Amino acid sequence: MEQKNTKNSRKASRNKYAAPVGAIYFILVIIGAITVIYGSFKLTSRFLDNSKEVEQLEAMLMPVLMFDPVPFDTIEDADPIMILQSSLWSTLYSEKRSSYTYDDNGYMVVPASDVEVAATKLFGPTVTLTHTTFGDFENTFTYDEENKVYRVPLMAQAGYYTPSIDGKDIVKNGEYLDVKVGYVAPGLAWSTDSQGNKYEPTPDKYMIYQVKKTKDGYYIVAIKDPGDSTSSGALHDHE
């Protein structure tokens, strides 16, 4: 009788600990499931959130888009002055700007070699610059052939538009990205309605910029009008 009671006591003891252990196991399973779900959510969010890419593209496109360039299928078809102008302004927006000196007439002195580097970053390794003086009466960018520099007027004014990109409008097209870019008029980066609420304005127009991604960023291979039938499909082969 005593042996039977001992067995019952041991069984009861095991049952007493079985419930807590089972509960702990269940809690661990739930925690594990939540961790996996949360991790998957963060991974998905990271893929969906391309705000950093948008910022990089807008910064890269700024010195090109602001002058409202004529569309082109390949860099060889692009306006040489547009390429030169965009490349020079790219250097003026770069970190190197603070290192440039001024001549006796108050003009900023920009090495032509820096403009060439900027051109390659903007339009790829096959681009060729034709160095020359350009601009108008108010903003003349003088090329100094002897010293291989550009002399930039102190009050030089930038172009007209700024870029606006929606992350959903970046579409992978083979090895390229087709980016729908809005052209926002100056002074309208943010507007205010009658109630004082700020909102992002509607761009004046849109263009498709086809860019190629590299380890150092992106460069432009073509600019297309969204109304062009070829814009919705693959653009020309740029290799």
**pLDDT digits over 139-191, tens only?**
899 999 999 999 999 877 666 899 999 999 999 988 999 999 999 988 655 55
| Same domain as 100, residue 166 | no
| Same domain as 189, residue 141 | no
Geometric angle at alpha carbon 22, from 16 and 28, rounded to 5°: 145
How far is CA 201 from its chain centroid? 20
Domain with residue 207: its CATH number is: 3.10.450
| Same domain as 146, residue 82 | yes
Inform me whether the pLDDT recorded for 45 exceeds 60.
Answer: no
Task: Write down which residue in 110, 129, 152 finishes a domain.
Answer: 152
Inform me whether the pLDDT recorded for 92 exceeds 60.
Answer: yes
**Cβ atoms of residues 106 and 71 within 8 Å:** no
Query: What pTM was computed for the model?
Result: 0.72
Structural domain count, the chain: 2
**Cβ atoms of residues 191 and 39 within 8 Å:** no
Confidence of residue 192 (pLDDT cuts 50, 70, 90): low
164/199 Cα distance (integer angstroms): 13
233: tokens are: 């499909």
Boundaries of domain holding 174: 162-227
pLDDT, residue 103, reads: 95
| Same domain as 126, residue 104 | yes
**Cβ atoms of residues 130 and 153 within 8 Å:** no
Element (H, E) at 55: helix 51-65
Task: Write down which residue in 97, 122, 152 finishes a domain.
Answer: 152
Q: Is residue 188 part of a domain?
A: yes
Task: For 55-83, write each residue's pLDDT tens digit.
Answer: 999 999 999 999 899 999 999 999 999 99
pLDDT, residue 235, reads: 47
pLDDT, residue 160, reads: 84
Maximum CA pair distance of the chain?
116
Inform me whether the pLDDT recorded for 126 exceeds 50.
Answer: yes
| Same domain as 148, residue 80 | yes
Task: Write down which residue in 128, 152, 176 finishes a domain.
Answer: 152
Q: Is residue 123 part of a domain?
A: yes
Mean pLDDT (whole number) for 206-215? 94
| Same domain as 83, residue 120 | yes
Q: Which residue has the tokens 């302004």?
A: 89
